[in-house]
Structure formats: structure tokens, C-alpha cells
Chains A and B, each alone.
Chain A
Amino acid sequence: MSALRVVTVDDEPLARERVSALVRESEGLDLIAEGRNGLEALDLITALDPDLVFIDVEMPELSGFGVIAALDGTRVPGVVFVTAYEHYALQAFEVGAIDYLQKPVTKQRFAAAVHRAKERLDRRSAADRRSVVVGAALAERARGSRTRFVVRRGNAHYFVPVDQVDWIDAADNYLRLHVGDRTHLCRGTMKEAEEELDAARFVRIHRSAIVALDRIVSITGLEAGGHTIELRGGMKLRASRQYADRVRALLR
């Protein structure tokens, strides 16, 4: 069996250094990259397609859960969460991670995690991989309401802050974020987006459209029962009858 290709991710240099050292000391592991934050981790994982990732949960801007949740469901590495929080350890299991390590990481415990990884990585099905992504998205959502989207261009990832988004529509399993005259694709469904976004700032107007309230210029009622919503910049969207209640609530 060839060596497992490993990426380590932690925003604290000392913590990262220790885990990386343990990876180097382990037989059958090959450290190919270190990430200093969530976004960098996302780029590295996408570009390098590692077999195994040791990743901190609590990181600035994009947490370990957020990183895994933003991955393309087809190529998901084995995940070992490293955390100082006991309750994240529990969540890590629910997410379907291979293992979790509590800080400070001991040699013995690390070896046990590596052993598990070698055993389980081969047996993972495509469904297992996807369920890790979904589980991580749930865990990330539990940490609080969404403040930004993660979008991918090539192998690089970017943040799109929620308050820059004018409106969102759905395209298969993706969300199309409209920001000024640009659009970004982001993994997710309308239902998820509606749940994650602050209801005081966004409203769903259609099965496949959500708009930012402060971008609305005018709302015109239609005879058929729906509404036409004009956004700043002249864009006009149709609000369906199904969501007319929510639109009418805006007019009050």
C-alpha cells in the first residue's frame, strides 16, 4: 500500500507544527501540505486531493466543519478533526469523521487515529463520502447563522459575504449568487439557504429565488396573485403566488 497523502490544518502554528511532526514520524503517511486557515485548507484539498486531512475545528472565518461542508462531494478525503473542545469531538463523530483528536494530541492517540484511518479509508463508499459533506454542513449550521458563502473558481476558493448578495436563484444542486453584475456558484439548496440566512435580511419569493430585502426598489401586485419585484439596478423578479404571503408581509 502506498503512503497516505496527508494535509494538516490549524490556525495556531504550534498546534499545526505538532500534528505535522507526528505525521512525519508516522510510517505510511506522507505530509504533502499544511494549511494555516480554512480557506487555504479548501484550496489545498481541492488542488491536491489528499487521502487524509487532520483539521482543527475552531478556525477564523471558516471552521473545520465549514471546510468539509464546502468540498465537492465526489472527492472527499478521510477527515480527522483535531479540537480542544469536547463538544466538537462529539459532533465530529456525528459528521462521520474517521476520528477526532483532543488537544493536546498525544503520540499514542495519534497512532490510534492513523491506524483507524488506514483501516477505514479503503472501505469508504461514495455514499460515505457524501454523507461526511452533508454532516459537516449540518454541524457548521449548528454553529450559527451564515455570514458568508464559499465559492469556488478552479481550485481556488473565495468568500462572498452575505451582505454583498443581491439575490439568489437555484440551479440543480447549486445556488447562483448574484452580486452586482457577477454571479457565483455555490453548493447548496434553496431550503438550506433559506434556513441559514437571516430572515430579517432575506426573503424567499419563489421556489427558486431569494432576495435581499434592502435591494428591493418596488413591489407590484399581479392580477394572477403573484408580485413583480424590482431590484436596485433594474432587475425584475417574479414572486409566485405560493410565496405571496411573505411578500405581502413586506408591504406592511
Chain B
Amino acid sequence: MWTILAWSGVIAVGVAAGNYAKPPAFARGGGGGGRLLPRVPGPPPDLPALLWTFGVGSVVWYAVILALPFMLLAARRIDVERIGRARTVALIVVVVVALIAATSITEYFLLYHGIQMRPSMMNYMPVALRQNLLPWVAIAGIVAAIEGRRRSRHSELERERLRAAVAEQRLIALTGQLHPHFLFNTLQGISTLIHRDPEAADEMLSKLADLLRDLLRHRDRVLVPLGDEVRFARTYLEISKLRFADRLAFEIDIPAELHQASVPLFILQPLVENALAHGIGARMSGGRVTLGAQRQNGRLHIEVADDGAGMTTASPREGIGLSNTRERLRASFGNDQRLLIDPAPAGGVIARIDIPYQLHSSAAGAQ
């Protein structure tokens, strides 16, 4: 900012000198090696002319320098996208013309203050306007260049930030799905079954493979058919049932016609995991997890319920899983979505998702 100001100052002084000054009669130091300073003894010649040039004669340049920071600030606040390109240009032209007029009028009164023999305003103005045009247009050009560069750099940063945010969302979606402990506990189960019941080990292994395949298949999508989510949840619950044996029961009541509804990727999984943690993880006697979905007035309602220990056992890790879900719902539907976690009437917790019902594009054969 200060470099710009200094630059403008140099330009202004230079232009002022060129425009208005009679060449000041500098006294060259005789044999002094060409010093450009007035000799110390004796008055600098033509001081009034110099003062006039740098004082009253350069009013427009002082105005320009003073106006520069304000113009830069104002330029920052112009929202081109909101008011449109044409109107932005018109606005700038109006402002510049107004500034030229204002400086010209100020100049007129300053120059001829107290002088009897002054030209009429009508005669003075055309000359003044022409003279003041260059400084203001030049400064407007400088401001536009600076602001343009700032904006292009800013939008590049913004693009970069968005790209990072999307990548992060994807990573969150992926890592939020399968906690390492689930993977390792499942592997532990398989390693047990290998010795006792190779058939069962085989089954558990193939279910785990299904789960991992699903996890990898969808990594580049944001919205998926509900049916995919249900399949993932079912496989997850089936593996959990093998791990916990008689301690887990589950039920999925989602009509086939809703399987083509569009939902954010991995939206069910954190809720199912949460229900497991509450319903089974927290109780020795085990529990039951229920998934349901309905379509109602253009809305899709999804429910995940458990009959576990209720809300008091929530741990911070589960909180993170749920906030990821909320974030992804918001990313897909803005404020047109809801995720409610409530105590279920019969004990346990019920999680409800309410989003607009949309047919997934794969149903229309577009994907």
C-alpha cells in the first residue's frame, strides 16, 4: 500500500512539475561538480513559482493521492456479481466524472481566491476538466489494476480452498464409515472361525469383502441410491451379528420402491454404528437395531432406532460421527434437511433424517 502511495506521489510531483512549473532557475554551483542544490547563500530564485506549482497548482494531484486509499477500499467492496458488469463500469464512470468536476470547481475557487481579474466559471471549466481528466483516469486505472490482481489471486485461493474442502469431505465420508476397531474385531472373529468352522469364516470374510468393495466403489460420488446405503448397513449389521452372536438383533424395514431415492453417501452408516454402540456396546444383555424409511409429501424420512441404554452413554467419538453426518446433510441440502436424535419412547435412542425426496440419477439411466 505504501509503495503505491509513494509511487503515486512521485508521478504526481513529476506531472505537476511538467504541467505547471516554469523551469525553476536553479543555480549551478560553479565548478562544484554539478550539484543540483540551490546555493546556500542567497535566496532560491523564483520561489513563488515553485510554491505555486507544488501548492495550489497541484490541487488535483493532492486530491488524487488522498483519494487513492479510499478508492482502493471502495473498489474492494464492489460486488461485481451482484450489480453486474455493465452497471459496475457505469458506476466507475460516474464516480470519476464527479471527482473531475469536484476538483475542477475546488481548483477554480482556490486559484482565483481574492483575485479580481478572474475568468468566468464557464470559461475556466472546459480547460480545467480537460486538465483534470488525466490524473483521475490514471488513478482509476491503477486502482482497477490493483483490485483486479487482488481479486484474481483471491479467487484462486478460494478455488484451492474449495478443492481442499471437497477432498476433506470425501475423506471424512470414507474414514467415518468403518472404524478401525470394527475392521480388527471382524478380523479377530474370522481368525477364530478359521480354526473351528472354516465355512463360517469364509462367510464372514466374504461379507467383509463386500463391505470393503462398497466402500471403495462409491468414493467419487456425493449422492447414492438409498438401496446402496441399505445394502452397506445390512452387511455391516450381519457382520456385527456374527461378532456379537445372540446379543444383536436387527430389522430393516425399507420398502423396495424407496431404494432409488437419492441420499448423501454413507449417511446411514454413522447412525447404525451409533445405534450399535448404544444398543449393544453399552449393554450386556444386547439389543435390537431397527432401520426404517418412508416417503411423505415429497420428503424422505429415514429412521435408525435402538433399544439400548439411552442418551447418557454417548461418548465424544460418536459425537464426531454425528456431526459429520450433519455436515454432509447440509452440504447436499443446505437448510432443507434435518437430523434429530431423540430418546425413543421405549428406551434407547431414535435418529431421524428428513430430506427432500429425489429420484437418484442412476434410476433415470443417467449415471
Contacts and interface: CB of A to CB of B under 8 A. Distances in A.
Interface of A: 11-15, 17-18, 21, 36-37, 39, 58, 60-61, 84-86, 102-106, 143-144, 147
A14 B188 contact: yes
Interface of B: 180-181, 184-185, 187-193, 195-196, 242-245, 247, 280-284, 312-313, 315-316
A102 B189 CA distance: 13
A12 B195 CA distance: 17
Contact of A103 (B184, B195, B247, B284): B184
B245 to A, nearest CB: 5
A39 B283 CA distance: 12
Contacts of A13: 244-245
A86 B192 CA distance: 20
B284 A12 contact: no
A39 B284 contact: yes
A21 to B, nearest CB: 7
Given A14-B243, A144-B315, A58 B281 contact: yes
A102 B191 CA distance: 13
Contacts of A15: 185, 188-189, 192, 243
Contacts, number: 69
Nearest to A37: B284
B283 A14 contact: no
Nearest to B192: A18
Given A11-B284, A60-B282, 7 more contacts: A14-B192, A14-B193, A15-B185, A15-B188, A84-B184, A104-B187, A147-B312
B284 A61 contact: yes
A57 B196 CA distance: 25
Contacts of A104: 184, 187-188, 190-191
Most chain B beta-carbon contacts within 10 A, residue among A13, A85, A86: A13
A152 to B, nearest CB: 18
A18 B188 contact: yes
Nearest to A143: B315
Among B189, B242, B243, chain A packs the most CB atoms within 10 A around the CB of B189
A61 B192 contact: no
Contacts of A21: 192, 195
A103 B190 CA distance: 11
A84 B313 contact: no
